[in-house]
Amino acid sequence: MQDEIKKDIENHKVILYMKGHKEMPMCGYSARVVDILKTYDIPFETRNVLDSDTLRNEIKIYSDWPTLPQLYVNKEFIGGCDIITQLHESGDLKDLLT
């Protein structure tokens, strides 16, 4: 699973590991990050950790971060909902995404 996660992150400029899908988030934190990303009108991928307990656990090990959602941009772990919200409000997220 770690190899699959690594490939996903390497093959997508912006990828969000979340509960649900970008069309239908299944938790408030995931919904918040999806809403933020949609304001930038950029393509991004999502992976639903609710589809696989293995994925849900392995992404936390991969990032060494205990919570979800988790955003990766240009192969780099950015953070979860609180960090993404702060970056968005400060304007720094736009710089990361463009």
The radius of gyration computed from the CA coordinates of the chain, to the nearest angstrom, equals 12
How many Å apart are CA 78 and CA 74, to the nearest integer?
10
Both structure tokens of 44 = 């991004």
User: What's residue 98's pLDDT?
Assistant: 84
Dihedral of alpha carbons 70, 76, 82, 87, sign = negative
> How many Cβ atoms are within 10 Å of 2's Cβ, its own excluded?
10
- pLDDT in single tens digits along all 98 residues of the chain: 999 999 999 999 999 999 999 999 999 999 999 999 999 999 999 999 999 999 999 999 999 999 999 999 999 999 999 999 999 999 999 999 98
Let me know: does 31 contact 25? Beta carbons within 8 Å. Answer: yes
How many Å apart are CA 40 and CA 48, to the nearest integer?
21
